[in-house]
Each structure stands twice: as C-alpha cells, then as structure tokens.
A and B are shown apart, each in its own frame.
Chain A
Amino acid sequence: AQTVTQSQPEMSVQEAETVTLSCTYDTSESDYYLFWYKQPPSRQMILVIRQEAYKQQNATENRFSVNFQKAAKSFSLKISDSQLGDAAMYFCAFTDSNYQLIWGAGTKLIIKP
C-alpha cells in the first residue's frame, strides 16, 4: 500500500531558527510528485513546495527547501529563519499511480517568540 509517514506529531522551534520536518513514503512507482502543504489555524490548505521525483535537484521556495532522497523515500522540509506566521500543521503528500494525493497525518509546528 502507498503510505506517507510523518513521524513527528509536533515540533517546536525558536523564532528565527531553522527546523526540519520529516516525511517518508512508500511507493513502487518511479515517477511521482511530492508536496508539502501548510494548514494554519484558519484551516485553509496552502501549497508550500513541490518536487518532481525525476529531478535530483532539491526544490527551494524562499525560506523553504526540501531534502529529497529518492532511494530512501524520504522528503523532509527545512524552514529557515522561522517566523511566527509559519505556525501551522504541515502535511506531506505524494501522487499515487492514478495521480491522486496520498497524505500524511501532519506535523504541528509551534514557533516560540
């Protein structure tokens, strides 16, 4: 079965510091897409970053970057210079063979001022 595991139910970081959220997944596909979404208390789901599995280069988006290890099926998210507005639930997801998203259970990120 295709699954996503986010092993950290909750993480906290001091404002302005760096934090890494982990994600592992299981699939037999060779071509797929991976995503990180954030869901602030407002509950709106917002795309953070996207990675194509066929690309070796790690995606970056301003303060957000990923460490994609295809062989290990690992897709962690690094947030640099954490800001109070980064506080949210973060979800890792990837596309299955039908290109539907398989979601992790989420990691709650707390930013300490």
Chain B
Amino acid sequence: SQTIHQWPATLVQPVGSPLSLECTVEGTSNPNLYWYRQAAGRGLQLLFYSVGIGQISSEVPQNLSASRPQDRQFILSSKKLLLSDSGFYLCAWSVHSNQPQHFGDGTRLSIL
C-alpha cells in the first residue's frame, strides 16, 4: 500500500532563517506531488505541484520554492523566512491529477 511521510511535525524558526520541509511517498511510482499551506480556520492554498522529477509548477508567487530531486521526494524550501510564512503545511500525492489526493500529517510552522 502507498504511504506518505512528512516531517517535521512541528517547527519553530526565527525570522530570516532558512527552511526545509521534506515529503516522501512510498508504494507508487511517478506520483503527482503537491505542497499546500493552510491558514488557521481556512481552506487549503496550493503552493506547488509536480508531475515528475524536476518539474515544478508554482501557483502563488512567494518567498518559498520547491524541488523534486527524486521521483517520490518533494521538498519545500525558503532561504529567508518571513512572519507571514507561518502556517500549517501539507504535502499530498495522487496517481493522476483527476484522482483523489492523499495527504501527509502536516507540519505546523511558527515563525518568531
């Protein structure tokens, strides 16, 4: 069966520090991969999605970037975090864009 791992679960970072959140999927090949951000009490905002290695699409211009160095690995990064980067970050995968997305447990990011 397929599983998705996302870490860390919680992260507290100072303003201006770098960020690296990692997500890996097991049990499937060439998945679509997604990074979302969820503000408190709100729906999900798509940040990045990828349909293959090295193929990244950005939905929202921001302080963040994403990379897919391996087929089942998706990384969310920032060189310098802003206060507005605080939130709950979710990684997800799907077999195809029109198939249900399956989510990791999320990372709660707090910027001080």
Seen from chain A, the residues whose Cβ lies within 8 Å of a Cβ on chain B are: 4, 33, 35, 42-47, 50, 91, 93, 95, 98-101, 103-106
Contact = CB atoms under 8 A, between A and B. Distances in A.
Contacts of B59: 100
- The size class of the interface chain B forms with chain A is 20 to 34
Interface of B: 41-46, 49, 59, 88, 90, 92, 96-98, 100-103, 105-106, 108
Report which residue of A45, A100, A103, A105 has the largest number of chain B beta carbons within 10 angstroms of its beta carbon: A45
Contacts of A93: 44
Given A44-B103, A45-B90, A100-B97, 12 more contacts: A4-B43, A33-B98, A43-B105, A43-B106, A46-B103, A91-B44, A95-B97, A101-B44, A101-B101, A103-B43, A103-B44, A106-B43
